[in-house]
Amino acid sequence: MGTEPAELRAEIGDLGLRYFRSGSGPTAIKLHHSTGNPGWMPVDEILAEEFDLIVPDLPGYNQSDRPAWARSVRDIAVLTGHFIETLELEDVVLIGCGLGGWVAAELASMNNHAISHLIVSGAPGLKPNEGLIEDQIMMDWDEYVQLSFSSNEHYEQTYGPDAADVYKELWDYSREMTARLTWKPWMYNRSLEPLLSLVDTSALVVWGSDDRIVPQICGEQYKNALTGSKLEIVEGAGHCVEHEQPEIFRDLISSFVKN
């Protein structure tokens, strides 16, 4: 049985950020999807077997204060960098899932020396060379979250059969913040792709074989932009690789960091 994580707060200027922390080993930070942080999840318990894992609510999401002025994902990346500085962290394994992967990539592009390894999983942020990034604003929030999984079975295993009722407030609140940050252009930053070529942090790109939210070609674009990076396609997973295949997700990251 796992250990209950500590629930803590950090002050970043006039903003308070909530985060969970548990485990031992190299320090890792996992950044959540655009749908918010549902709490300490099974994948977090699995990652904490290998890492000293920190899981924050991104600024503006869940129980972290909302910066009213923030209008871009890069703004959130700047604040995340200050979060790392405030906790006086070094050699951080930065794991970003979905929107959190975009935040992680933006932060890495700022030449943040506290990051030792970058893991980008199912991230938007780049304009797809083919296809489109799914527009969550045009559908019900529960429909969008279900679309993030390869099967309804995996969706219910993660969130439970009553997810639409349990998480309604979280998903609504998160979507409002996501719209502020990612609107026009929808879900990408034209400047990010060329900036990634300057990143010298070791990088791993992870993508679900059945991702219906962000086209797999974006994973290939991340791999091509991040010098020396590798793209791993995880079978039996959609956009939420970490929830659908948590052991595989953990093993990919652990092997990447050790090697």
* Domain coverage including residue 29: 6-258
CATH number reported for the structural domain that contains residue 133 in this entry? 3.40.50.1820
Q: What is the pLDDT of residues 125-163, one digit of tens each?
A: 999 999 999 999 888 888 999 999 999 999 999 999 998
Task: Assess if residue 133 is contained within a domain.
Answer: yes
Task: Assess if residue 56 is contained within a domain.
Answer: yes
Average pLDDT over residues 29-55: 98
Q: How confident is the model at residue 173 (pLDDT cuts 50, 70, 90)?
A: very high
Answer whether 217's CB lies under 8 Å from 129's CB.
Answer: yes
Task: Assess if residue 1 is contained within a domain.
Answer: no
Torsional sign, CA 106, 108, 114, 119? positive
Q: Is the pLDDT of residue 188 over 70?
A: yes
Q: What is the pLDDT of residues 236-257, one digit of tens each?
A: 999 999 999 999 999 999 999 9
Average pLDDT over residues 68-89: 98
Q: How confident is the model at residue 2 (pLDDT cuts 50, 70, 90)?
A: low
Task: Assess if residue 243 is contained within a domain.
Answer: yes
The structural domain count of the chain equals 1
Q: How confident is the model at residue 18 (pLDDT cuts 50, 70, 90)?
A: very high
* Total-model pTM: 0.97
